[in-house]
Chain A
Amino acid sequence: MTQKISIDKRNLWERIAGQGYLWLILFVLYAPILLIIVFSLTKSKVFGNWTGFTFDLYRNLFTGYDMTAQVRVDPNLYRAMLYTVIIAVVAAIISTLLGTVAAIGIFHMRQRHRKAVMFMNSIPMINPDIITGISLFLLFVFIGINRGLGTVITAHVVFCTPYVILSVMPRLTKMNPNIYEAALDLGATPAQALRKVLIPELWPGMISGFILSLTLSIDDFGVTFFTKGSNGLETLSTFIYADARKGGLTPELRPLFSLIFLTILVLLIISNIRTNKQVKK
């Protein structure tokens, strides 16, 4: 990144126009998000209606009780939050384990078999949510499984694991295969060699696969929608959808997503500063 080859000295105006274009697009991309943040600071029930500055919605979100209206904040919101986290964490853990083991296996396969498995691996990534959702829905109905938490987690593992494999695979390709064998020659048992040599080598890929899985799972709507069944299981996505279709959006969603957004913004800025420092070193 430190190499600075300037292709041509673009004139100042061109650069200003280019930067301006980027900022304009960013402004449009962020406008709705800014709107959510701004209206998280007023307590009107209707989104888009400004009734004065207050932190009431934040207080409601954390206490679970709306002091002004003297009612509880919709308990389904908290259940949806809880389920979103449970599903994401469990699905990401299973996907990371399954994907890492599978990646090691696929890596050692013969070329032709590897191609076939990698093709199968790409299907859930290419398929739109609605197709993945409906196909799993039909499967669960066909073999007579009741839809619920288990089916949602299974479905999430289906579309997360391919991404884990894709993040672990490059680590395997880059790894020197002799290290593992050297460990065996030096008297390590296969289990020890796995724990002390292979896993540390694959760790970064596993972590990025895990984080990617968390993100995909939390963000998913289509697959969850078709696999959650009708027992009242909701994630934040399906909760928002049901809420919006009813007409009114639970106001506490505004502070919730403002906080999520600001947390991620801060995390990204911190990690960016860190990598910049490492580059400078």
Chain B
Amino acid sequence: MRSRRPRRRLSNAGLGLVALAVAIIVASATLAPVAFAAPTPQASAWANIERTARGQTVSLWMWGGDPQGNAYVDNVLTAAAAKLGVTLARVPIADTKDALNRVLAEHQAGRTDGSVDLIWVNGDNFRTGVQAGIWKCGWADALPNIAYTAPGDPLLASDFGTPVRGCESPWHKAQFTFAYNAARVANPPTTMPALMTWVREHPGRFTYPAPPDFTGSVFMREALYATSGGYANVPASFTQSAYDRLTPALWTTLKRLRPALWRAGQTYPKDSTQLDQLFASGQVDFTMTYGPATLTALVAKGTFPRTTKVLTLKEGTVGNASFLAIPTTSAHFAAAQVVANLALSPEQQAIKADPRAWGQFTVLDVKHLPPAQAQAFANLPKSNVVPTYPVLARHANPELSASWIPKLDDGWRRQVLTGGE
């Protein structure tokens, strides 16, 4: 008998909640058409979202290692969001995994007023979130500005092999790029194997960030494509047999490279920021980035030598897109959608593509934009350092599926970092 009382009380509370929900749904269904003479149901739904969003604060958690990106969000995007009544607060993090971890912890604790409303994310972090069920889904396809992207764009439909399914909204396209100091590298290599040869002939002048760092991990995938004879030979989704067949050559190559790296491969930069510092202070002659458009400003400011040039490889490099995702723990779903939609607008995408602002490549289909908006992209300044996105992406290689990445990162630790000869 003792156990019955609380149960009954619970069901009473449950009934009350259901009744309340029914009342709200009925009320909103009857009120909405009166309040808004909207042309389409989608537009009225969006108007509702924009109205709910007003007065909310969105915490955007993003990698804070790029001062230009921080400045763009703080000065441009935040101001535009304020016009829509949304306060945008940027939370800088050292690695996107930090935001993911925060959400996972809050998800475990059952919080619904979490500290993260929006995350700049892609690849294995997105996939991990999908596995843990921490993303709100289906909303990104309903954003009004998604109409400006190319329908069926493969980079936007799947994120490192994980179907996007409206769980994140596209923000940038990126192309992995090597940069070198032309004053020190007279005859730059033009293929990945030639780059490896150059490294062995110039001991101490090259290194890469230690995976699982994002940039170091991409470098390793580039090397895997090279040692496998091209990306076509590496199956996009992970299988143990493909791993066993293809990785021995990769580990052998990277181990042979090791003695010729900076500090004789005894240690590695922790992240791309440290590698950039080594490049800026002249300790190495190459750096690498997944955001090449930022190179223009780094050279203009004098951080990087004036002789910095982008290395275009004959076989191409990997390209991807990055996104904004909303965790289920967010209490500001509407405002987060408004910010994601704003970030996707042609105006913001054009400002963001300007190397003086940030220099991130657009996810929009510029060819099919209305003329006024297409003009903003045509007016973007030309760079002496970085070729245009179509040139960089000419032989773009697809990314491997996210399930490869932890396996490769782990293999690198075992075989290259701690392994013997």
Tell me if chain B binds chain A.
no
Residues of A participating in the B interface, judged by any CB pair closer than 8 Å = none
